[in-house]
């Protein structure tokens, strides 16, 4: 994932999004990118050489909401 971050940061800057912030759900590290209002959030991670991305767009800030934490913690990557 480290090699993707510089390119991703350029895209996020063009879209006026915040820089990636590491967060952990269910023992797995994700990078969180969100807009200033927190109504668009993008979580991404790499597991076993595969890239996973989850986007959430809504009308209210969802970062930290229990349903989102439960959802992201529920992922079980099969090797």
Given the structure tokens 């990118």, which residue do they identify? 33
The structure's pTM equals 0.74
CA distance 62 to 20: 16
- Whole-number Å distance between alpha carbons of 23 and 29: 6
The per-residue pLDDT for range 4-61, each reduced to its tens digit, is 666 677 777 888 888 888 999 988 899 898 887 778 888 988 888 888 889 998 888 8
71: left (phi over 0), alpha (psi -120 to 50) or beta: alpha
Q: Give me 30's structure tokens.
A: 């994700």
Distance in angstroms (rounded) separating the CA atoms of residues 61 and 76:
26
């Amino acid at each position: 994932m480290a090699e993707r971050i510089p390119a991703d940061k350029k895209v996020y800057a063009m879209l006026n999004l915040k820089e990636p912030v590491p967060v952990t759900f269910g023992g797995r590290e994700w990078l969180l990118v969100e807009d200033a209002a927190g109504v668009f959030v993008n979580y991404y991670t790499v597991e076993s050489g595969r890239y996973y991305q989850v986007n959430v767009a809504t009308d209210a800030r969802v970062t930290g909401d229990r349903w989102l934490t439960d959802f992201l913690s529920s992922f079980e990557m099969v090797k």
